[in-house]
Amino acid sequence: MLTEPLQSWKVCKELANNFYEKQRGAKSEGKTIVWGGASIPCDIIRAMDIVPILGEPYGALCTAHQLSEELMATTEEYGFGRSFCAYSRNFVGSVLKNKGPLGEMPEPDFIMGTKSGCNDHITWFEILARIKNKPYIAIDAPMLYEEPGPHHLKYLEDQLTEFLESLEKMLGRKADEEKFVEFIKLSQQAGELWTEVLEFCQKVPAPLNFKSQLSLMMPAVSLKGTKEAVDFYHMLLDELEERVKKGIAAVPEEKVRLLWDNIPMWYYMQIFNYVEQKGAVVVVSPYVLGFGGGNLAQAGISPEAEALVAQSEPTSIQEAIREVAKEYLRSSLRHNLPAKTRQFSQIVRDYSVDGCLIHSNAGCKNLSCARLDLVRSVEQDTGVPCMVFQASNADPRDFNEEDTLAKVDRFLDELMESKAAS
């Protein structure tokens, strides 16, 4: 199978470098800095010219740099346990030890927690605000197991409006309406374009593997609300179109196509090379799809509720805030088990998946909730087998390499055999 390196890769790397460079230079440029989880409203924050430092990408970076064990030892010495979010244990350790992959972390002016499907997001940053003695702002998004209604939207809209007012007060300047609306529109566009990028992987062979997707999603997560993110995805889409036309695949051999569930083990990314050497490629993950526009069809909600949360183009600050609130609600619609099961089964069908690798992630109880029941339903719905293994996204102590690889070997052998026989 024809394969060649992705041209856009270099640009993505530059964007990431610039992102971290801007963080490092923010203080000397007199910018306001906020620490928060990846679900804080970065579009609003950027529209106010505030520089966000995001917890999960930072936690992943600590782990990828093999700093986790050292940082988490610091977290545990401080008196914390090791059952909660593994990203946060890296981040807190980095703050306490004043050590990290990018050197000293820029000091925040305020700290922010947003519950968007994850309680740890508000606890994590409340705790840091206490340790750092900084002002703290929280936004609480509903979990939405039931049908979304006007009170869900109002709850978020009111909080986001108040949030903007508090930023205006803190910064001593009003939001520029034109600029603000533009940031929100760019954020919407980046989400849509990211979904389009991933949809290219429905093609056989897939033009991108999961490992590349994880790097390429950086603009959708960390550069939300920027023109750079939108321009980058346009460029990437052009390149993907070309690759598909020419039949350029992500990997030389695509005997079986896999779905990966959950965050990867950032300290053990070689697992993807390992499966690829055996002719298997991870082509899709609900995890990376979660940073895109999403598919409301699987949410199982009424047409009225769908209309309530449907995206539209804002023309004023208030409308733009409503769009941010709607986006929070849309992303929450995948939380309950029936919706999650429908989503997984649809992904399996849309991406012609032959088997699913389910990372039961002890480092993220939110994303791992009810996985064993989910797997049974997906196997039943689609006839596609799933392999569950336990590890952690950011705590290498929870990973058993030998056992996991042995399990992967058996699973892939069976998958290849059954595919060859069909």
Amino acid at 129: A
Q: Which is nearer to another protein, 12 or 321 (CB)?
A: 321
Q: Is the peptide bond before 205 cis (omega within 30 degrees of 0)?
A: yes
Quick check: 341 and 377 in contact, CB under 8 A?
yes
Stretch that binds another protein, among 2-10, 179-187, 331-339, 379-387 (CB under 8 A): 331-339
The DSSP secondary structure of 324-341, one letter per residue, reads HHHHHHHHHTT-SHHHHH
Q: Judged by CB under 8 A, does residue 382 bind another protein?
A: no
Which of 3, 346, 382, 390 is close enough to bind another protein by CB under 8 A?
390
Q: Which is nearer to another protein, 81 or 303 (CB)?
A: 81
Distance CA 119, CA 370 (A): 17
Cα→Cα distances 125→113, 122, 131, 177, 216, Å: 5, 6, 10, 29, 27
Which of 102, 235, 337, 416 is close enough to bind another protein by CB under 8 A?
337
Q: Judged by CB under 8 A, does residue 86 bind another protein?
A: no
User: Taking the complex as a whole, how short is the minimal distance between the CB of residue 76 and another protein, in angstroms?
Assistant: 10
Which H/E stretch holds residue 52? strand 50-54
Q: Which is nearer to another protein, 214 or 362 (CB)?
A: 362
Q: Judged by CB under 8 A, does residue 287 bind another protein?
A: no
Which of 126, 177, 182, 253 is close enough to bind another protein by CB under 8 A?
126
Within residues 204-223, the interface with another protein by CB under 8 A covers none
Cα→Cα distances 337→115, 144, 295, 331, 345, Å: 19, 12, 16, 14, 12
Q: Judged by CB under 8 A, does residue 73 bind another protein?
A: no
Distance CA 287, CA 280 (A): 19
Amino acid at 415: L
Closest by Cα among 363, 290, 373, 377 to 332:
290
Which of 33, 34, 127, 333 is close enough to bind another protein by CB under 8 A?
127
Which of 9, 80, 268, 274 is close enough to bind another protein by CB under 8 A?
80
Q: Which two tokens stand for residue 184?
A: 């929100």
Which of 377, 379, 385, 397 is close enough to bind another protein by CB under 8 A?
377
Stretch that binds another protein, among 181-189, 308-316, 347-355, 371-379 (CB under 8 A): 371-379
Question: Helix 8-26 vs helix 227-246: angle between axes, to the nearest 10 degrees?
Answer: 160
Quick check: 112 and 132 in contact, CB under 8 A?
no
Stretch that binds another protein, among 25-33, 83-91, 242-250, 317-325 (CB under 8 A): 83-91
Q: Which is nearer to another protein, 82 or 203 (CB)?
A: 82
Binding mask 144-173 vs another protein (x if CB under 8 A, - otherwise)? xxx--x-xx-xx--xx--x-----------
Closest by Cα among 229, 323, 273 to 12:
229
Binding mask 347-366 vs another protein (x if CB under 8 A, - otherwise)? -------------x-x--xx
Q: Which residues form the interface with another protein (CB under 8 A)?
A: 78-85, 113, 115, 119-120, 122-123, 126-127, 130, 138-140, 142-146, 149, 151-152, 154-155, 158-159, 162, 336-338, 360, 362, 365-366, 368-373, 377, 390
